Amino acid sequence: MFTGIVEELGVVRSIAADAVPARLVIEAKLTLEGSEVGASVAVNGACLTVVTRNRDGFEFEIGPETLARTTLGRLGASDPVNLERPLRFGGALGGHLVLGHVDGVGTVDDVARVESTARVRIRVPEGDLPPLMVPQGSVAVDGVSLTIAALGEATFDVMLIPHTLEVTTLGRLRAGQPVNLEADVIGKYVVRSLTLRANR
Protein backbone atom coordinates (compact mmCIF):
# COMPACT_ATOMS: atom_id res chain seq x y z
CA MET A 1 0.00 0.00 0.00
CA PHE A 2 1.34 3.41 -1.01
CA THR A 3 0.17 7.02 -0.75
CA GLY A 4 1.12 8.51 -4.12
CA ILE A 5 3.64 10.87 -2.50
CA VAL A 6 6.87 10.42 -4.47
CA GLU A 7 9.93 10.16 -2.23
CA GLU A 8 12.61 10.57 -4.86
CA LEU A 9 13.40 10.47 -8.55
CA GLY A 10 15.40 7.39 -9.39
CA VAL A 11 17.32 6.92 -12.63
CA VAL A 12 17.10 3.89 -14.90
CA ARG A 13 20.54 2.39 -15.36
CA SER A 14 19.43 -0.44 -17.62
CA ILE A 15 16.42 -2.48 -18.63
CA ALA A 16 16.34 -5.84 -20.34
CA ALA A 17 12.75 -5.70 -21.56
CA ASP A 18 13.11 -8.68 -23.90
CA ALA A 19 14.21 -11.06 -21.15
CA VAL A 20 11.67 -13.22 -19.29
CA PRO A 21 11.29 -11.92 -16.71
CA ALA A 22 12.48 -8.48 -17.72
CA ARG A 23 15.13 -6.97 -15.48
CA LEU A 24 15.13 -3.30 -14.44
CA VAL A 25 18.11 -1.65 -12.73
CA ILE A 26 17.49 1.69 -11.00
CA GLU A 27 19.85 4.05 -9.23
CA ALA A 28 18.37 5.38 -5.99
CA LYS A 29 19.39 6.91 -2.66
CA LEU A 30 16.60 7.81 -0.24
CA THR A 31 14.37 4.83 -0.97
CA LEU A 32 17.22 2.39 -0.36
CA GLU A 33 16.74 2.77 3.40
CA GLY A 34 14.62 -0.10 4.69
CA SER A 35 14.19 -1.61 1.23
CA GLU A 36 15.95 -4.94 1.46
CA VAL A 37 15.62 -7.86 -0.96
CA GLY A 38 11.96 -8.89 -1.02
CA ALA A 39 10.67 -5.42 -0.20
CA SER A 40 8.14 -3.60 -2.37
CA VAL A 41 8.86 -0.29 -4.10
CA ALA A 42 6.49 1.64 -6.36
CA VAL A 43 8.21 2.51 -9.66
CA ASN A 44 6.12 4.99 -11.67
CA GLY A 45 3.13 3.68 -9.76
CA ALA A 46 3.76 -0.04 -10.31
CA CYS A 47 4.52 -2.12 -7.23
CA LEU A 48 7.72 -4.12 -7.84
CA THR A 49 9.75 -6.46 -5.64
CA VAL A 50 13.42 -5.78 -4.95
CA VAL A 51 15.45 -8.80 -6.11
CA THR A 52 18.90 -7.24 -5.70
CA ARG A 53 19.96 -4.28 -3.56
CA ASN A 54 23.37 -2.64 -3.70
CA ARG A 55 24.91 0.55 -2.35
CA ASP A 56 23.51 2.77 -5.10
CA GLY A 57 20.27 1.17 -6.24
CA PHE A 58 17.92 -1.72 -6.88
CA GLU A 59 17.22 -4.43 -9.39
CA PHE A 60 13.70 -5.62 -10.13
CA GLU A 61 12.23 -8.46 -12.18
CA ILE A 62 9.15 -7.60 -14.25
CA GLY A 63 6.78 -10.27 -15.50
CA PRO A 64 4.98 -10.24 -18.88
CA GLU A 65 1.65 -9.22 -17.28
CA THR A 66 3.19 -6.12 -15.70
CA LEU A 67 4.93 -5.18 -18.94
CA ALA A 68 1.63 -5.48 -20.81
CA ARG A 69 -0.33 -3.38 -18.29
CA THR A 70 2.18 -0.59 -17.62
CA THR A 71 4.65 1.73 -19.33
CA LEU A 72 7.68 0.10 -17.67
CA GLY A 73 8.71 -1.73 -20.83
CA ARG A 74 9.09 1.64 -22.58
CA LEU A 75 11.71 2.89 -20.14
CA GLY A 76 15.24 3.47 -21.32
CA ALA A 77 18.62 4.11 -19.73
CA SER A 78 18.87 7.52 -17.98
CA ASP A 79 15.07 7.91 -17.76
CA PRO A 80 13.88 9.31 -14.40
CA VAL A 81 11.29 7.29 -12.46
CA ASN A 82 9.06 8.10 -9.48
CA LEU A 83 9.95 5.99 -6.44
CA GLU A 84 7.99 5.42 -3.24
CA ARG A 85 8.36 2.96 -0.39
CA PRO A 86 5.20 1.36 1.10
CA LEU A 87 3.15 3.17 3.72
CA ARG A 88 4.11 2.10 7.22
CA PHE A 89 1.46 1.73 9.93
CA GLY A 90 1.29 4.97 11.85
CA GLY A 91 2.75 6.93 8.92
CA ALA A 92 1.12 10.01 7.46
CA LEU A 93 -1.30 9.45 4.56
CA GLY A 94 -0.42 12.54 2.56
CA GLY A 95 -2.01 11.51 -0.73
CA HIS A 96 -4.57 8.71 -1.03
CA LEU A 97 -4.50 4.92 -0.78
CA VAL A 98 -2.58 3.61 -3.79
CA LEU A 99 -2.14 -0.14 -4.30
CA GLY A 100 0.57 0.00 -6.94
CA HIS A 101 -1.67 -2.05 -9.25
CA VAL A 102 -1.85 -0.11 -12.51
CA ASP A 103 -5.37 -0.16 -14.01
CA GLY A 104 -4.41 1.03 -17.47
CA VAL A 105 -2.16 3.18 -19.59
CA GLY A 106 -3.47 6.64 -20.46
CA THR A 107 -2.10 9.10 -23.01
CA VAL A 108 -1.28 12.75 -22.40
CA ASP A 109 -3.49 14.83 -24.68
CA ASP A 110 -2.24 18.26 -23.75
CA VAL A 111 0.07 20.08 -21.34
CA ALA A 112 -0.81 23.73 -20.80
CA ARG A 113 1.57 25.83 -18.72
CA VAL A 114 -0.14 28.47 -16.59
CA GLU A 115 2.66 30.59 -15.16
CA SER A 116 4.53 28.20 -12.83
CA THR A 117 1.77 25.57 -12.80
CA ALA A 118 0.52 23.17 -15.47
CA ARG A 119 -2.85 21.80 -16.52
CA VAL A 120 -2.56 18.33 -18.01
CA ARG A 121 -5.27 16.52 -19.96
CA ILE A 122 -5.03 12.73 -20.06
CA ARG A 123 -6.99 10.40 -22.31
CA VAL A 124 -8.32 7.33 -20.52
CA PRO A 125 -8.28 3.93 -22.26
CA GLU A 126 -11.65 2.36 -23.02
CA GLY A 127 -12.91 -0.34 -20.70
CA ASP A 128 -13.45 -0.45 -16.96
CA LEU A 129 -11.43 2.66 -16.10
CA PRO A 130 -13.65 5.61 -17.22
CA PRO A 131 -16.50 4.88 -14.73
CA LEU A 132 -13.95 5.03 -11.89
CA MET A 133 -13.02 8.64 -12.67
CA VAL A 134 -15.05 11.23 -10.76
CA PRO A 135 -14.75 15.04 -10.52
CA GLN A 136 -12.62 16.03 -7.51
CA GLY A 137 -11.77 12.36 -7.02
CA SER A 138 -8.31 10.89 -6.61
CA VAL A 139 -6.18 9.30 -9.31
CA ALA A 140 -2.56 8.15 -9.42
CA VAL A 141 -0.64 9.20 -12.55
CA ASP A 142 2.74 7.44 -12.79
CA GLY A 143 2.40 6.87 -9.06
CA VAL A 144 1.65 10.49 -8.16
CA SER A 145 -1.52 11.17 -6.14
CA LEU A 146 -3.56 13.83 -7.91
CA THR A 147 -7.07 15.31 -7.83
CA ILE A 148 -9.21 15.26 -10.96
CA ALA A 149 -9.92 18.91 -11.78
CA ALA A 150 -12.23 18.31 -14.74
CA LEU A 151 -13.76 15.28 -16.41
CA GLY A 152 -14.50 14.85 -20.11
CA GLU A 153 -16.13 11.99 -22.00
CA ALA A 154 -12.86 10.08 -22.31
CA THR A 155 -10.40 12.45 -20.62
CA PHE A 156 -9.63 14.05 -17.30
CA ASP A 157 -7.61 17.11 -16.31
CA VAL A 158 -5.24 17.54 -13.39
CA MET A 159 -3.50 20.66 -12.12
CA LEU A 160 0.17 20.40 -11.20
CA ILE A 161 1.78 22.80 -8.75
CA PRO A 162 5.44 23.86 -9.09
CA HIS A 163 6.58 21.43 -6.36
CA THR A 164 5.03 18.43 -8.14
CA LEU A 165 6.52 19.54 -11.46
CA GLU A 166 9.95 19.75 -9.84
CA VAL A 167 10.14 16.59 -7.72
CA THR A 168 8.33 14.07 -9.98
CA THR A 169 8.51 12.96 -13.59
CA LEU A 170 5.28 14.87 -14.30
CA GLY A 171 7.26 18.02 -14.96
CA ARG A 172 8.56 16.29 -18.11
CA LEU A 173 5.17 15.26 -19.51
CA ARG A 174 4.47 15.99 -23.18
CA ALA A 175 1.57 15.36 -25.54
CA GLY A 176 1.41 11.77 -26.76
CA GLN A 177 3.27 10.35 -23.78
CA PRO A 178 1.86 7.20 -22.13
CA VAL A 179 1.31 7.24 -18.36
CA ASN A 180 0.36 4.64 -15.77
CA LEU A 181 -3.09 5.19 -14.25
CA GLU A 182 -4.55 3.79 -11.06
CA ALA A 183 -8.07 4.72 -9.97
CA ASP A 184 -9.06 5.25 -6.36
CA VAL A 185 -9.40 1.83 -4.68
CA ILE A 186 -12.59 2.87 -2.86
CA GLY A 187 -14.27 3.59 -6.19
CA LYS A 188 -13.29 0.14 -7.45
CA TYR A 189 -15.08 -1.57 -4.58
CA VAL A 190 -18.17 0.62 -4.97
CA VAL A 191 -18.43 -0.08 -8.72
CA ARG A 192 -17.87 -3.82 -8.17
CA SER A 193 -20.54 -3.96 -5.46
CA LEU A 194 -23.08 -2.11 -7.59
CA THR A 195 -22.34 -4.33 -10.58
CA LEU A 196 -22.90 -7.51 -8.56
CA ARG A 197 -26.17 -6.15 -7.14
CA ALA A 198 -27.41 -5.22 -10.63
CA ASN A 199 -26.68 -8.72 -11.93
CA ARG A 200 -28.67 -10.54 -9.26
Q: How far apart are CA 5 and CA 49, in angstroms?
A: 19
Average pLDDT value for residue range 45-52: 98
Q: Which domain holds residue 157?
A: 104-186
The answer on 114 and 69 residing in a single domain is no
Q: Are 70 and 60 in contact (CB under 8 A)?
A: no
Q: pLDDT digit string (tens) for 129-176?
A: 888 898 999 999 999 999 999 999 899 999 999 999 999 999 999 999
The answer on 114 and 66 residing in a single domain is no
The answer on 129 and 169 residing in a single domain is yes
The answer on 67 and 121 residing in a single domain is no
**Given CA atoms 160, 148, 175, 47 in this order, what sign does their dihedral have?**
positive
State the total domains in the chain: 2
pLDDT band at 61 (very low <50, low <70, confident <90, very high): very high
The answer on 22 and 54 residing in a single domain is yes
pLDDT score of 36: 95
Supply the DSSP string of 52-88, one letter for each residue.
EEETTEEEEEE-HHHHHHSSGGG--TT-EEEEEPPPP
pLDDT at residue 78 greater than cutoff 70: yes
The answer on 17 and 65 residing in a single domain is yes
Q: How far apart are CA 36 and CA 157, in angstroms?
A: 37
The answer on 167 and 120 residing in a single domain is yes
> Residue 199: how many CB atoms within 10 A of its CB?
6
pLDDT score of 21: 95
Among residues 22, 51, 84, the one where a domain terminates is 84
CATH number at residue 58: 2.40.30.20
